[in-house]
């Protein structure tokens, strides 16, 4: 007898357990590098370059101190002549025979990442929602062609347009500014935002806003008060993708910004200590840099899969 | 009747609202995307150097294109790019699909594990690149330690050796982006309606037959779509590789996109590199087009 009561996508207990086991093994292996990044951030510089690599070590905040400061090496006599250190981090730096020369650029770079990342995410989701709504609801001449045009802008290699953008930005005073980078990332994200959000808007019944308009709302009012709240899942999913991109982007950042508006991705790889890269500080910087996207992902994880589903089904 | 009421509603007409909503997006795309692209194409016919702005710009016709295509270098870079793409896409397809099939078995803790597996994808490729130089370090690297723990190869240098370096970038890319293939395949698997399997059970198809005749054909379009996106991204990609190997040793891992970056931003040969970019763009556009056609044919079957 064929067991028809069992749903076909539900497998037997054994194969499910085996699947779980393999997935757990994969997850552990794939998380080793990320765990290692986080651990290295809490190692002292010496412990980060021992062999064999230390899994158990005495935790130290040297990486974080190095990340946020610049230091100079001083002679023993000079250090002894100084008044005693006032803070724990000064003490830590002195114990390495150095003094703090000043703050590093990390804080500024991180702040730039936050401003540009959130600014571009907000702007691309907002503009994307407006355009998606129009494409979803109204008769627009050449609608399909316009939608394809919007998608095709995603295929251009960034380096191909970096030089023209560099020249253009310098002419109109947007070179190396937050606003310039926010606009640039917004544009790169827009194609995805419009496509994803149109899928979600199509799912919202027109009757909702029509009813609202009978009640006296204008079209604009109905959009902001009725449609947008209905599209929350779509907005969240789109926001994740836009955020991941603008938070991590490197090519434009390294080519178009230098002092004012440089974000953290081009900065972190340049953290060097004496005689090579300072891995503790890089680990610390990477960990701090990972936290916002990690929170974003964990909080919005349900929308992530839904967002991908939509993106995949809609094409 | 309903329409009439809506037309009487106050505020702007629908037409006006439609244009107000679309115009900002179109204007931004035109200004920041289309204009620079046209600019780049027109520069590709000149001898323009972006670091010598005062210099007279001369029209050179197709000379840049002839120069690039006539040199061995581009074909070597294309070969390196092709083999990088072949291995990353193959590995990501196999591992990503397998993981999706396993995750689709809906065991306990499934969702948490999916979230954890997806994490590498959230990292910045440039930061990933620099950190893997640490993991690959022949003296202190964790990767080398773990490999030697299982089989003692002695000292080896993933980045410094020209035979190993291409594999070093393949490993990192696969580690980082397999979750992407996995997620899209998972979305595909979840969209297969249950009645297909129920019908198959009625027809007494066994598990293997169900897999070959239902699961695989349904998930294949999704897998191909994921590979299309990965292919486009990997063809343009340079951030992770620049930070990891910077194209070396020699030019063992110098992808076409990295050479493009060198010409454009180290040698500042803007005209020449614009022509290079156009060649790359046409290549990926051409391959992409053929791929999409094949993909649609498979989907229609």
Residue appearing with tokens 């229609």: B300
**A 168-207 residues inside an 8 A Cβ radius of B:** 168, 183-184, 186-187, 190-191, 194
- CATH topology (fold) of B63-300: MetI-like fold (1.10.3720)
A114 and chain B: CB distance < 8 Å anywhere? Answer: no
| Contact check, Cβ <8 Å, B131/A37 | yes
Buried b (16+ CB within 10 A) or exposed e, A77-91: eeeeeeeebeeebbe
Q: What is the pLDDT of residues A14-52, one digit of tens each?
A: 888 899 999 999 999 999 999 999 999 898 887 887 777
Confidence of residue B294 (pLDDT cuts 50, 70, 90): confident
Does the pLDDT value for residue B170 go beyond 90?
yes
Whole-angstrom distance, CA of residue A119 vs CA of residue A115: 6
Contacts across the A-B interface (CB distance below 8 Å): 299
Q: What is the DSSP letter of A216?
A: T
Report the pLDDT averaged over residues A177-192. Answer: 91
Q: Phi/psi class of residue A206: alpha, beta or left (left: φ > 0; alpha: ψ in -120 to 50)?
A: alpha
Which of A26, A37, A293, A313 to probe the B interface (max B CBs under 10 A)? A26
Predicted pLDDT of residue B192: 80
Confidence of residue A11 (pLDDT cuts 50, 70, 90): low
Predicted pLDDT of residue A271: 80
Q: For chain B, which residues make up each domain, given as ranges?
A: 63-300
**B 66-85 residues inside an 8 A Cβ radius of A:** none
Q: What are the structure tokens assigned to A271, written together?
A: 């953290």
Closest chain A residue by Cα to residue B200 = A8
ipTM field: 0.85
**B 13-42 residues inside an 8 A Cβ radius of A:** 14-15, 17-22, 24-26, 28-29, 32-37, 39-40
**A 19-38 residues inside an 8 A Cβ radius of B:** 19-20, 22-24, 26-27, 30-34, 36-37
Q: Helix or strand or coil: residue B110? A: helix
CA distance A31 to chain B (A): 7
Report the pLDDT averaged over residues A111-139. Answer: 92
Q: What is the pLDDT of residues B13-26, one digit of tens each?
A: 888 888 889 899 98
Across the strands, what pairs with A71? A100
CA distance A22 to chain B (A): 8
A64 and chain B: CB distance < 8 Å anywhere? Answer: no
Across the strands, what pairs with A273? A276
Which of A53, A226, A253, A266 to probe the B interface (max B CBs under 10 A)? A53
Domains of chain A: 45-104 (no CATH), 107-313 (1.10.3720.10)
Predicted pLDDT of residue B10: 58
Predicted pLDDT of residue A3: 42
Scanning chain A, the segments in alpha helix (DSSP H) are 13-41, 45-48, 62-68, 76-81, 88-95, 106-137, 143-152, 158-172, 178-203, 206-214, 219-222, 228-230, 232-248, 251-256, 264-267, 279-299, 301-313
Residues of B in contact with A52 (CB under 8 A): 145
Distances (CA, A) of B169 to A158, A181, B141, B228, B239: 21, 29, 16, 19, 11
Identify whether the C-beta of residue B223 lies closer than 8 Å to the C-beta of residue B215: no
B116 and chain A: CB distance < 8 Å anywhere? Answer: yes
Q: What is the pLDDT of residues B172-184, one digit of tens each?
A: 999 999 998 998 8
| Contact check, Cβ <8 Å, A248/B131 | no
Closest chain B residue by Cα to residue A292 = B122
Element (H, E) at B97: helix B72-103
Q: What percent of chain B has pLDDT over 70?
A: 96
| Contact check, Cβ <8 Å, B197/A8 | yes
Report the pLDDT averaged over residues A92-102. Answer: 78
CA distance A104 to chain B (A): 18
């Amino acid at each position: 007898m064929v067991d028809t009561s069992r749903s076909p996508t539900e497998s037997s207990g054994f194969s499910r357990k085996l699947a779980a086991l393999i997935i757990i093994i994969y997850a552990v292996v794939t998380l080793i590098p990320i765990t290692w990044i986080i651990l290295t951030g809490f190692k002292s510089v010496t412990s980060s370059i021992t062999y064999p690599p230390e899994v158990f070590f005495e935790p130290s905040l040297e990486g974080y101190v190095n990340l946020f400061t610049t230091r100079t090496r001083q002679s023993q006599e000079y250090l002894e002549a100084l008044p005693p250190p006032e803070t724990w981090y000064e003490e830590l730096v002195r114990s390495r025979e150095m003094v703090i020369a000043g703050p590093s650029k990390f804080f500024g770079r991180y702040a730039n990442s936050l401003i540009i990342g959130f600014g571009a995410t907000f702007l691309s989701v907002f503009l994307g929602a407006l355009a998606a709504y129009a494409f979803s609801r109204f008769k627009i001449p050449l609608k399909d062609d316009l939608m394809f045009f919007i998608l095709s802008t995603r295929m251009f290699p960034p380096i191909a347009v970096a030089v023209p953008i560099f020249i253009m930005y310098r002419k109109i005073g947007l070179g190396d500014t937050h606003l310039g980078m926010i606009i640039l990332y917004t544009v790169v994200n827009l194609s995805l935002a419009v496509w994803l959000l149109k899928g979600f808007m199509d799912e919202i019944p027109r009757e909702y806003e029509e009813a609202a308009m009978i009640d006296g709302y204008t079209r604009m009012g109905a959009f902001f008060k009725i449609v947008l709240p209905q599209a929350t899942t779509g907005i969240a999913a789109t926001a994740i993708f836009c955020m991941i991109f603008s938070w991590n982007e490197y090519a434009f950042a390294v080519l178009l910004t230098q002092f004012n508006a440089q974000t953290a991705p081009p900065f972190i790889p340049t953290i060097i200590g004496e005689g090579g890269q300072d891995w503790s500080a890089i680990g610390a910087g990477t960990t701090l840099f990972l936290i916002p996207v990690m929170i974003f992902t964990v909080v919005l994880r349900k929308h992530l899969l839904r967002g991908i589903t939509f993106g995949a089904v809609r094409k | 009747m309903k329409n009439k009421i809506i037309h009487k509603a106050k505020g702007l007409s629908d037409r006006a609202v439609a244009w107000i909503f679309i115009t900002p997006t179109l204007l931004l795309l035109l200004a920041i995307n289309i204009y620079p692209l046209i600019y780049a194409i027109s520069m590709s016919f000149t001898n323009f150097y972006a670091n010598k702005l005062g210099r007279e710009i001369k029209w050179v016709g197709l000379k840049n294109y002839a120069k690039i295509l006539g040199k061995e270098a581009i074909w070597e870079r294309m070969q390196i790019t092709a083999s990088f793409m072949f291995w990353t896409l193959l590995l990501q397809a196999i591992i990503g699909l397998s993981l999706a099939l396993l995750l689709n078995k809906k065991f306990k803790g499934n969702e948490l594990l999916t979230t954890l597996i997806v994490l590498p994808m959230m990292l910045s490729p440039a930061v990933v690149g620099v950190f893997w130089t640490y993991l690959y370090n022949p003296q202190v690297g964790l990767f080398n330690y773990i490999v030697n723990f299982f089989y003692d190869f002695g000292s080896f240098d993933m980045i410094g050796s020209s035979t190993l370096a291409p594999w070093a970038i393949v490993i990192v890319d696969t580690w980082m982006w397999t979750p992407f293939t996995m997620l899209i395949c998972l979305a595909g698997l979840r969209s297969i309606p249950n009645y297909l399997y129920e019908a198959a059970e009625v027809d007494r198809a066994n598990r293997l037959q169900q897999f070959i005749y239902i699961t695989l054909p349904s998930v294949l379009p999704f897998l191909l779509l994921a590979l299309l996106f990965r292919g486009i991204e990997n063809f343009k990609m340079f951030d992770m590789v620049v930070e990891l190997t910077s194209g070396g040793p020699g030019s063992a891992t110098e992808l076409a996109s990295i050479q493009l970056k060198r010409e454009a931003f180290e040698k500042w040969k803007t005209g020449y590199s614009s022509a290079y970019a156009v060649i790359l763009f046409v290549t990926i556009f051409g391959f992409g087009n053929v791929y999409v056609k094949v993909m649609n044919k498979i989907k229609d079957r």
